[in-house]
Amino acid sequence: MTFADWLNSARIGFPLLNDKNSRPTSSADDEYNCIAWAAEDTEHWWWPDPQEQEYWPKMVPRAETIDAFVQAYRLLGYSHATDVSVEPGKQKIAIFANERGTPTHASRQLPGGWWTSKLGGQIDIEHELSAVEGPTYGKVTIVLARISNSE
Amino acid sequence: MSSTDPLRRVPTRSNLPFALVGNLLLAVSSVGASHQSIQLQQELVNLHSYYAFPASSIRDRRRERFGRLACRWREDTQWLSSATEIAVHPAYQAIIGMGPEALPLILEDLRHNSGHWYWALKAISNEDPVPPRDRGAIKRMKAAWLRWGEQKGIVVT
A 13-42: CB under 8 A from B: 13-14, 30-36
Closest partner CB to B81 (pick from A35, A51, A55): A35
CB pairs under 8 A between A and B: 85
Interface test with A, best of B80, B81, B88 (most A CBs within 10 A): B81
Examine the domain organization and report whether B37 and B83 are in the same domain: no
CA distance linking residue A64 with residue A22, whole number of Å: 28
**Range of the structural domain that residue B33 is part of:** 1-52
Instruction: Answer yes or no: do B78 and B154 share one domain.
Output: yes
> Residue A71: which H helix or E strand, with range?
helix A66-74
> Is B127 in the same domain as B143?
yes
Same domain, B92 and B126: yes
pLDDT truncated to tens, each residue of chain B (157 aa)? 444 444 444 444 444 555 555 565 556 555 556 767 767 776 776 666 666 666 667 778 889 999 999 999 999 999 999 999 999 999 999 999 999 999 999 999 999 998 999 999 999 999 999 999 999 999 999 999 999 999 999 976 5
* ipTM here: 0.93
Q: Give the residue from A45, A68, A39 showing the smallest Cα distance to A146.
A: A39
Same domain, B86 and B146: yes
Is B143 found in the same domain as B69?
Answer: yes
Indicate if B110 and B48 belong to the same structural domain. no
Q: Which residues of chain A have pLDDT under 70?
A: 149-151
Q: Which helix (H) or strand (E) holds A144?
A: strand A139-147
Q: Which fold has domain A3-147?
A: endopeptidase fold (from Nostoc punctiforme) (3.90.1720)
Global confidence as pTM: 0.80
Give tens-digit pLDDT for A27-48.
989 999 999 999 999 999 999 9
The 3 state secondary structure assigned to chain B is CCCCCHHHHCCCCCCHHHHHHHHHHHHHHHHCCCHHHHHHHHHHHHHHHHHHCCHHHHHHHHHHHHHHHHHHHHHHHCCCCCHHHHHCCHHHHHHHHCHHHHHHHHHHHHHHHCCCCHHHHHHHHCCCCCCHHHCCCHHHHHHHHHHHHHHCCCCCC
Per-domain boundaries in chain A? 3-147
Domain total for chain B?
Answer: 2
